[in-house]
């Protein structure tokens, strides 16, 4: 057995080293993440593969959440990827509330520290309404339902230290902080700012070339 292992190592050393380095790179430096749900529509859609900068906030020990060095903290409007203990899933959401912020929502309109964000209608398609939301000077589009939902409103809550309030852009169809609570800083693994590639799940997984390398 030992001779067989030695032979395998000798014959495949370069490949094994390459694979090991690639796994370390994807764990600690950069990776991509498949998005299987529509909770971030219309910004991110089902079938998108988004780029993850895993060094945006921390330099971590590979294959762990242990931070060796903090690079920065998440900022309002960042699209973050985090391993949610509560939901037992890797999730993608937008940062709305920072530690110490007081956040509320009424009829899908967010208020931060007593001031409502600026909104403008973008498009209406039946019961689906797309709205431009201005968050810290950055405008993105959120999706709502004309009838609203149980997620459309919540009273003022204060974001605790070391935590963040996150929302999906598909406001009436997203299991975000309104469902799973505040996101601990240590669960956040990276930030995304672009789509790498996209496959159309409803059309034989044909690539959506218009979404390749699209900025979020």
Q: Is the pLDDT of residue 186 over 70?
A: yes
- Specify the pLDDT at position 128: 95
**Maximum Cα interatomic distance, the chain, rounded to a whole number of Å:** 70
Other C-beta atoms closer than 10 Å to the C-beta of 42 total: 16
Tell me the residue range of the domain where 171 lies: 2-211
Looking up tokens 């339902």, which residue turns up? 145
On whether residue 216 sits in a domain, the answer given is no
Give residue-wise pLDDT tens across range 130-158: 999 999 899 999 999 999 999 999 999 99
Pairing of strands 58-60, 154-158: unpaired
175 located within any domain: yes
Number of separate domains in the chain: 1
State the CATH number of the domain containing residue 170. Answer: 2.10.109.10
**163 in a structural domain:** yes
Would you please indicate which residues are annotated as catalytic (active-site) residues?
Answer: 39, 93
99-134 confidence digits (pLDDT tens): 999 999 999 999 999 999 999 999 999 999 999 999
């Amino acid at each position: 057995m030992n001779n067989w292992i030695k032979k395998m190592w000798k014959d495949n050393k370069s490949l094994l080293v390459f694979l090991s380095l690639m796994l370390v790179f994807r764990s600690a430096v950069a990776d991509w993440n498949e998005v299987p749900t529509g909770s971030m529509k219309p910004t991110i859609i089902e079938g998108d593969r988004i780029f993850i900068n895993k060094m945006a906030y921390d330099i971590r020990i590979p294959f762990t959440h242990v931070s060796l060095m903090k690079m920065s903290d998440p900022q309002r409007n960042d699209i973050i990827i985090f391993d949610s203990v509560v939901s037992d899933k890797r999730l993608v959401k937008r940062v709305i509330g920072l530690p110490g912020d007081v956040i509320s929502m009424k009829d899908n309109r967010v208020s931060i520290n007593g001031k409502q964000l600026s909104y403008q209608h973008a498009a209406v398609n039946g019961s689906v309404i797309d709205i431009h939301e201005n968050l810290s000077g950055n405008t993105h589009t959120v999706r709502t339902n004309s009838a609203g939902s149980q997620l459309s409103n919540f009273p003022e809550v204060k974001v605790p230290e070391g935590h963040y309030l996150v929302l999906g852009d598909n406001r009436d169809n997203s299991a975000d902080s309104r469902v799973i609570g505040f996101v601990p800083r240590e669960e956040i693994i990276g930030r995304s700012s672009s789509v790498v590639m996209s496959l159309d799940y409803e059309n034989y997984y044909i690539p959506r070339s218009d979404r390749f390398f699209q900025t979020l």
